[in-house]
Amino acid sequence: MTLSESTAAPVGEVVLEAVGLTKHFPVRRRLSDLFSGTKAAVHAVDDVHLTLRRGRVTALVGESGSGKSTVARLLAQLYPRTAGDILLHGTSTKVHGGRRFRTYVKRVQLIFQDPFGSLNPVHTVRYHLTRALKIHGNAGKTSADLEAALANLLTRVSLTPPERYIDKFPHELSGGQRQRVAIARALGADPEALLADEPVSMLDVSIRLGILNLLKDLKDRLNLAILYITHDIASARYFADETMVMYAGRMVEGGDSETVTQNPAHPYTRLLIESAPDPDRIEGIADPTVLDRGNGEPPSLIRPPAGCRFNPRCPHAMPRCKVDLPPRLEIGDRDGHWAACWLYDAETVAKEGIGSAADVDSAIPTPPALTLTEEAR
């Protein structure tokens, strides 16, 4: 088997789309819920729209609990969705295990954050990769084909020479090498899309950039569509073509990565960037006053706030923000840059007059240029 290097599909071709994707996890009912007839649920993901294209990385950024991993698991069809749709090459897909699931995961592969947990400690690299190749029909017909395919996979993730790694057990490898094996296993399916859920967050800081560079190389050579999930918005600027920001289960801003990270529009994105570790700030840690200005904690997802979910923390909240959910509004600086924020609706601002987008610029100045954090280096 040879991996389909730079396959014939054009760069930018849409592979996977989330359309109004929603996931509510039911929570155990209390006695009072029984009497009131309410069904409590964690609103983990609400009305998410995103598009993954060949040869492009889309970053999904947000703080812990914002729903990023749930989006990845929904796209991987590991969870049934509450509402919305997942389109693979424009066709609605809903699979529950079995052959249809296998056909789906051949095209869409998930890489987990923990390379320790995702590889079985009692099996060698050879076992893990052979299994992936066989399951997805890429092992060839002869043992020589299989050996060539195994060597090809290990070479593709820069574990060379392959014979040095092929018979090792996971515990004999470093964290970075294990993550490379996990990526090679995903490539064994010869997929079109990779869903990378915080692929470097559990790795030693010194090897993170190597794994991100590997994914970038795979994107280019194999023309893969990559979803890169991270809480580190600086690495999104470095690695992703497009960045989407999530807050409390909803998308709040999106656009090309350079614009979203250098000219963020949504007050939440600005706070996220200001609170990102920055080597230029004292000891490289976040300025504690920054998030204070944002007023505390993310909201309960069992009873999320009405209107914009960021309104209780937003220093610029207007009365309408507490009532009406803001739609995606074009910012106008770059094609495709949008924010779900009433500050970009001239009519609302004129009527409620509390703080226009221009006022936000002076109150929360556009943060300084983001550099790749020490963490991601």
Give me the helices (H) in the chain, please.
Answer: 31-36, 68-75, 98-107, 115-118, 125-135, 143-156, 175-187, 205-222, 233-239, 257-262, 267-274, 288-293, 346-352, 357-363
Which residues, 6 or more positions from 323, have their beta carbon under 8 angstroms from its beta carbon?
306, 307
CA pair distance 364, 290, nearest whole angstrom: 10
Instruction: Enumerate residues 146-165 that contact ligand ATP by CB under 6 A.
Output: none
Smaller CB separation from ligand ATP, 149 or 182: 182
| Longest Cα separation, the chain | 73
Among 15, 18, 42, 339, the residue binding ligand ATP under the rule CB under 6 A is: 42
Smallest distance, ligand ATP to C-beta of residue 15, A: 22
Q: Does position 170 bind ligand ATP by CB under 6 A?
A: no
Tell me what percent of the chain is helix, strand and coil, each rounded to the nearest 5. Answer: 35, 20, 45
Among 106, 131, 216, 231, the residue binding ligand ATP under the rule CB under 6 A is: 231
CA pair distance 356, 247, nearest whole angstrom: 21
* Cis before 305? omega within 30: no
CA angle 32, 43, 102 (to 5 degrees): 125
Q: Does position 175 bind ligand ATP by CB under 6 A?
A: no
Smallest distance, ligand ATP to C-beta of residue 55, A: 25
**Exposure of 215 in the CB half-sphere (CA atoms within 13 A):** 34
Q: Does position 25 bind ligand ATP by CB under 6 A?
A: yes
Number of residues in contact with ligand ATP, rule: CB under 6 A? Answer: 13
Instruction: Enumerate residues 298-337 that contact ligand ATP by CB under 6 A.
Output: 301
- Compose the 55-84 pattern: x for residues touching ligand ATP by CB under 6 A, - for all others: -------x-xxxxxxx--------------
Q: Does position 360 bind ligand ATP by CB under 6 A?
A: no
Smallest distance, ligand ATP to C-beta of residue 66, A: 4
Q: Does position 44 bind ligand ATP by CB under 6 A?
A: yes
Smallest distance, ligand ATP to C-beta of residue 149, A: 33
- Which parts of this chain interact with ligand ATP (CB under 6 A)? 25, 42, 44, 62, 64-70, 231, 301
